Amino acid sequence: MTRQTLFAANALLPDGWAENVRLEVDADGNLDQITRGAAAGAATRLAGPVLPGMPNLHSHAFQRAMAGLAEHVAPGSSGDDSFWTWREVMYRFVGALTPEQVQAIAAQLYVEMLKAGYTAVGEFHYLHHGPDGRPYDDIAEMSRRTIAAAGASGIGITQLPVLYSYGGFGAEKAGEGQRRFLNDPNRLLRIVEVLKDSHEDDPQVRIGLAPHSLRAVTLETLDEVVAGLTGLDPAAPIHLHIAEQVKEVEDCLACSGRRPVEWLLENHAPDRRWCLIHATHMSEAETKGLAASGAVAGLCPTTEANLGDGLFPAVDFLAAGGAWGIGSDSHISVSPIEELRWLEYGERLARRKRNVLAGEGADASLGHRLYSDALAGGAQALGRPIGALQVGRRADFVVLDPAAPVLSEMPAARLLDAMIFAGNRNPVRDVMVGGEWLVCEGSHRDERKVLEDYRAVLRTLLS
């Protein structure tokens, strides 16, 4: 890659919108100089307002291919569908997926993410083994597939191989539908190690780890795997699903006498390395405790709505200064706009108020607050230098379409409000990741071929 000099009439810098900004990108794809009030000179002029690309901190890539297939009443469920019946559908779907299919699905998903303005993904990856539960010859085969899809599409990836050992609280035996997921801490750490070796020098890849949920591990295996990861990389991200469903809270209470977040805070002191996915059901004390811990709350509002989880206590968590970011999780929607919009709309509907998450300041832009919080939390959770137009970070950014009707004549201070709350058309025009242009005028460089492969996979899966 050669050095690039770019010029934006408007760019969202860490302290807000700035005019006439020159962005210099070095040969490694990092921002190495940013000048406000600059002259365009010979720089490449960007077509519209420029935003840092959004990190997508929670993805189960394979689920993209089942989006829409669980939106009818499941036979035999007597109309009483829930998260738990959806999970059965998902387990059946996952039963026969091959590594090639997973790669093709992930490639399609990552292209869609880039076109929507996500420039990095946290892949919470638990589909490790063959359909009979036996590991592939290469223990990290499946993880390599999502990393390869990310590499080909150009999106940055934090691969989080998942520790899944049990079927429920109290070391309950895992079920048939979970056999492709299972590892003990040793084997999981081996996956982490081989992936780290393969991607040591790649600035687009970070390796962390994810205990699936408190349902799938015990205190001992959680300790063991976290200690092992810390030995390999003391700052590596650790993600964990927590307190998503009421039944999960009840089972945790029955087993340990503690609620899930309470249990984790007491037994494992999560810190800034941690990202707690969902954390939907928290008491006031848990909400304050999680905010104070420095861990990121990984919110996935469209999936949480789709699965009937409940509402995350966003008002209290934000008031307590908690860090948070967004993920598209099951990918029934792949749009940072929709995640941020529904985080706010959930609160409006529940409270019958408006501009609920805007925070302090009479003229505060709600859109700006949501977008910048999610950038910071997302970057922290993915453990990569992303999420800001700032020297030393990756050159990951999105150029908005100046011709998008909802953005017309909008002053910079209202751009993010309009983008998030006032339209359905994707306003992303161009996307650069790590100094490479991946999306130009709304199209990804490989989208045709990627879609063709994805269609072929779906034909097989649905026949």
Q: Which residues bind ligand NGQ (CB under 6 A)?
A: 60, 87, 213, 241, 244, 303, 307, 329-330
Min separation Cβ 48 and Zn ion, Å: 33
Which of 329, 430 has the CB closer to Zn ion? 329
Min separation Cβ 304 and ligand NGQ, Å: 8
Number of other CB atoms surrounding residue 445 within 10 Å: 16
**Which residue number is nearest to ligand NGQ in terms of Cβ?**
60
Verify whether residue 278 is a known catalytic residue.
Answer: yes
303 binds, among Zn ion, ligand NGQ, none (CB under 5 to 8 A by kind): ligand NGQ
Q: Where do we find the tokens 């509907």?
A: 349
Which of 213, 365 has the CB closer to Zn ion? 213
Which of 303, 335 has the CB closer to ligand NGQ? 303
Which of 244, 344 has the CB closer to ligand NGQ? 244
Q: Which residues contact 376 (CB under 8 A, 6 or more apart)?
A: 323, 325, 387, 388
Number of other CB atoms surrounding residue 249 within 10 Å: 22
Min separation Cβ 334 and ligand NGQ, Å: 15
CA separation for the pair 325, 57 (Å, rounded): 7
Could you say which of 309, 329, 401, 430 is catalytic? 329
178 binds, among ligand NGQ, Zn ion, none (CB under 5 to 8 A by kind): none
Min separation Cβ 164 and ligand NGQ, Å: 9
Min separation Cβ 143 and ligand NGQ, Å: 15
- The values of phi and psi at residue 431, to 5°, are -135, 125
Number of other CB atoms surrounding residue 411 within 10 Å: 9
Which of 22, 128 has the CB closer to ligand NGQ? 128
CA separation for the pair 286, 283 (Å, rounded): 5
Min separation Cβ 279 and ligand NGQ, Å: 12
Do 295 and 322 touch, CB atoms closer than 8 A?
A: no
Verify whether residue 446 is a known catalytic residue.
Answer: no
Residues that bind Zn ion (CB under 5 A): 329
Which of 87, 445 has the CB closer to ligand NGQ? 87
Rounded-to-10 torsion of CA 15, 21, 25, 29 = 50
258 binds, among Zn ion, ligand NGQ, none (CB under 5 to 8 A by kind): none
Min separation Cβ 311 and Zn ion, Å: 17
Which of 90, 191 has the CB closer to Zn ion? 90
Could you say which of 278, 281, 331, 368 is catalytic? 278
Which of 12, 277 has the CB closer to ligand NGQ? 277
344 binds, among ligand NGQ, Zn ion, none (CB under 5 to 8 A by kind): none
213 binds, among ligand NGQ, Zn ion, none (CB under 5 to 8 A by kind): ligand NGQ
Min separation Cβ 90 and ligand NGQ, Å: 6
335 binds, among ligand NGQ, Zn ion, none (CB under 5 to 8 A by kind): none
Residues annotated as catalytic are: 278, 329
